[in-house]
Structures are given as C-alpha cells and as structure tokens.
Amino acid sequence: MENIPVQQKILSRNDEIAASLRQVFDRQGVYVINLISSPGSGKTSLLERILPVLGPRFRCGVIEGDVQTENDARRIARLGFPVHQIITCGACHLDAQMISDHLDRLPVSDLDFLCIENVGNLVCPSSYWLGEDAKIVILSAAEGDDKPVKYPAVFRRAAAMVVNKTDLAQWSDFSQETAIANARGINPGIEVFPLSCRTGEGLLLFTDWLSGRISAKKA
Amino acid sequence: MENIPVQQKILSRNDEIAASLRQVFDRQGVYVINLISSPGSGKTSLLERILPVLGPRFRCGVIEGDVQTENDARRIARLGFPVHQIITCGACHLDAQMISDHLDRLPVSDLDFLCIENVGNLVCPSSYWLGEDAKIVILSAAEGDDKPVKYPAVFRRAAAMVVNKTDLAQWSDFSQETAIANARGINPGIEVFPLSCRTGEGLLLFTDWLSGRISAKKA
C-alpha cells in the first residue's frame, strides 16, 4: 500500500495551492482564520457570538465546511454576513483546492476578516493549510482537559486555543489549569481564551485579540 | 490528484483484511465491538463502567486506538483486564491491518468480548471495518442533538447509539428526543441507550443488551 507517499504528495500539492491563496488574502489585506475543533465544541456558536461584535468595525465573511447539511451556513446567514457552505460529502477536512474552487462565491476583495469553519474533527484538518493567517482550535470543557496531549498536532499549530463551555466545567472533571498546561506543554506560545458562548463570559478578551490581528493586517 | 481511486483501493484492501479478522473472531466465538465517537465523548469512561459489570460473566479484552499517549490503556489496565494500546502517530483512525498486526498481543482465543476503542473522530473511523460484529457510536449530550445529521455515515453503520453525559443535558440545549429522531431518520433500526457514565444512570440497559449479544455469539 502506497498510503504514506501518496499522503505526502497530497499534502505538498495542498501547500502549493494554500500559498497561492495566502497571496490573494495578503494582497486584499484580509485576515483569515481556520477554526478547528471536535464536532459540537462550538465553532458556529463562537461565530454567532463574535461576528456581531466585529461586524461594526470590520467587513466579515465566512466559509462553512461540513460533511453534510447547510445548517451552519443558515445560522450565519441569519446574522446578515456573507457566507458560503462547502459540503465535503464524506471528506473529513477542508483542503486548499476546495477553498480555491469556492472562493469566488464570497466578496473576498471587500472583506477585512474571513473565517473558515472547518469540518468537526480534531485530527485531519490540522494537516491541511488553507492559506490562513492563523489556526484557532476550540476545546470544549465537556471534552476533558487531556485532549491537547491526545491530539497534539492541532494544538502545536494553533495560534490560539479557545476553551469553550466553561459554564459546564463545574459539572464535569474538567480542570482549566490542566488544559492550559497541557496545551502550553506542546505549544508554549499558544494564546488561551476561556469563555462560554452560552453565558457570554470571557468573549471580550477574545474579540479584542482578534480585532488587533485584523486591524494589523488591514493597516 | 488520484485521491479518490487510491482511497477506494485502500478501503477495498482494508475490507479483505477485516474479513479475515472476522473469520478469526467467529472461530473463537468472541463478540467484537468498534467504539466510535468524537474526542472526549466518553469511550474510555464507558468501558470503565461496563467492564466491571461484564467481567464476572465474560472474559473481556480491549484494544485502545489513540493518536498519541497510552493513557487510555493505563485506565483499562487498572481494572485488571487485558489491554493493548495502538498509537497511530497521527493517523485519524484504526484500520484492519493495524488490528491484524497487533492481535497477537491479546489472548483473543481466551476472550468472549473484545472492545476496540477507535481514535476519537466522528468521520474517518466509520469507513474502516475492523472485522467487528457491531459498531457502537457514542454521542455526548454536550455535543448537541444535530450531530447524526451532520456526520451521518457512522450513525448509518452503527448497531447502537449511546447518548452519554445525559447529566449535562439540563445545562445545555440538548434534546434527547431530537437526537434520537435524527439518528433514526438515518438508521431506523439503531438501538439507543441514553446514559451517564458520571452518575451511572441508564448503564444497566446497555450492559444487558451487550450481554445478550456476547452470550449469543458464545453459544
């Protein structure tokens, strides 16, 4: 079986396409994030919280990646932001070619901030660069504080970790300190934002950090 | 890119190896489950709950699949059951070749029940048959009731869905009725077991169902 060489060839070709995407994003001055987490950790909920805060200052757009359904794109469209859904029909991650094929469905040249919400999967998406400026990983408190150690690749490559559902921590064995120590053991420079999309607690620090990044690229 | 034909070739070769594994399992009269869920939905916690209940009646063994760490195997070993850890070093699922390569590390001919705990991933493991009698998917209440619709493949192929962390449902927007309706919309025959590994509620129905399956194969 030629699994590994084929995989390397695919990843290398992906990186070439992602580099071209990045040139487009840089030329337009649009800051791009690639949002990665397990299913149900709150990627779309986070966007529903941050887009209304960022919207008055920045022109925002979203690409949604899902194995099936357009549910997430509908949730974003309700907020009035441009959004395009990519349905992967079984594929476990977005790749740069998919982004390239669909990019003309969004007014990228008019955007300051583009969020790509990846397929819910803590393993495969971490290997595929989509031309983004930063990967942001979400860990739900309900998933447990050991996940950075068990799924290290995405935590190693992420600029920031959002610890979501902090309101559930009190009902589980989750230790925020352990989760942060585990993530920083793999990636000492990772920024950490504990928050709850349900209660709104902690969201301001995250939107401030993101605003700084978007402004810096726009300038 | 030859991604899709290569993938088909890999899956077809996987099925051949899995069929050989199944012959071994059938000859030995060992009932095998393939436990699949997102990261942190409670696969190992479920095993920690059910093995002590099944242990007095059946000879049980476990194969643990993880991207990194032997943490899960250590948790099972503490209970006194034979366990072997497969570390995939980045791979997002177990395949039949991995099981075949490691099977001699467990006393399979002495077992009645073998549980294979897959890598935490709701997408990729569903495509790889490991020779098991049944796939069992776990959905955590904290993940949301929409997951069967968004990740249909594993729910379509599973004999049973365990709805875990029912104790967290009251603190989230999770509707058990909606989750079950979504799963049965994809797979009308799927058995459903709502339970909480934390409180123990609902576990008896699941262990009874599993005992029936193990006994039937042993007979």
Helices (H) and strands (E) in chain A — how many of each? 8, 7
CA separation for the pair B163, B122 (Å, rounded): 14
A157 and chain B in contact, CB less than 8 A: no
> Which of B68, B124, B144 is opposite residue A149, by nearest beta carbon?
B68
- What percent of chain A lies above the pLDDT cut of 70? 98
List, for residues B80-90, the tens digit of each pLDDT value: 999 999 999 88
> Which of A3, A121, A142 is opposite residue B40, by nearest beta carbon?
A142
Q: Are A136 and A41 contacting, i.e. CB atoms less than 8 angstroms apart?
A: no
Judged on CB neighbours under 10 Å (0-12, 13-18, 19+), B16 is exposed
More confident residue, B25 or A3: B25
List, for residues A73-117, the tens digit of each pLDDT value: 999 999 999 999 999 988 999 999 999 999 999 999 999 999 999
For A78-202, where are the alpha helices, taking DSSP H only?
96-102, 147-150, 152-157, 176-186
For residue B142, pLDDT over 80 is answered with yes
3-class SS letters over B19-35: HHHHHHHHHHCCEEEEE
For residue B7, pLDDT over 90 is answered with no
CA separation for the pair B111, B133 (Å, rounded): 14
For B67-118, where are the alpha helices, taking DSSP H only?
71-77, 96-102
For residue A121, pLDDT over 60 is answered with yes
Q: Record the pTM.
A: 0.95
Q: Say whether A92 and B92 touch across the interface (CB within 8 A).
A: yes
The residue of chain B with its CA nearest to that of A174 is B40
Q: What is the pLDDT of residue B19?
A: 98
Of the candidates B115, B148, B117, the one whose C-alpha atom is nearest the C-alpha of residue B36 is: B117
Q: Say whether B146 and A71 touch across the interface (CB within 8 A).
A: yes
Q: What is the pLDDT of residue A153?
A: 97
From residue B118, alpha-carbon distances to A1, A169, B38, B87, B135 in Å are: 21, 25, 10, 11, 10
Q: What is the pLDDT of residue A3?
A: 55
CA separation for the pair B2, B122 (Å, rounded): 24
B3 and chain A in contact, CB less than 8 A: yes
CA separation for the pair A62, A106 (Å, rounded): 8
| Identity of the residue numbered B180 | I
Q: ipTM strictly over 0.85?
A: yes
**Both tokens of residue B198?**
């934390």
Q: What is the pLDDT of residue A5?
A: 75
Chain B residues with CB under 8 Å of A71 CB are 146, 149-150
> What is the mean predicted confidence (pLDDT) over A179-193?
98
Of the candidates B116, B117, B113, the one whose C-alpha atom is nearest the C-alpha of residue B215 is: B113
Q: Are B120 and B137 contacting, i.e. CB atoms less than 8 angstroms apart?
A: no
Q: What is the pLDDT of residue B50?
A: 98
Q: What is the pLDDT of residue A4?
A: 64
Sign, CA dihedral B45-A190-A33-A100, equals negative
More confident residue, B2 or B80: B80
Instruction: Encode A79-111: b = buried (16+ Cβ within 10 Å), e = exposed.
Output: eebbbbbbebeebbbbbbbbbbeebeebebeeb
In order of their start, the domains of chain B are 3-218 (3.40.50.300)
Question: What are the residues whose beta carbons fall under 8 Å from the beta carbon of A113, sequence distance 6 or more?
Answer: A30, A31, A32, A33, A54, A58, A59, A60, A61, A210, A214
A167 and chain B in contact, CB less than 8 A: yes
For residue A2, pLDDT over 90 is answered with no
Of the candidates B108, B157, B150, B114, the one whose C-alpha atom is nearest the C-alpha of residue B136 is: B157
B4 and chain A in contact, CB less than 8 A: no
B75 and chain A in contact, CB less than 8 A: no
- The residue written with tokens 């009902």 in the block is A171
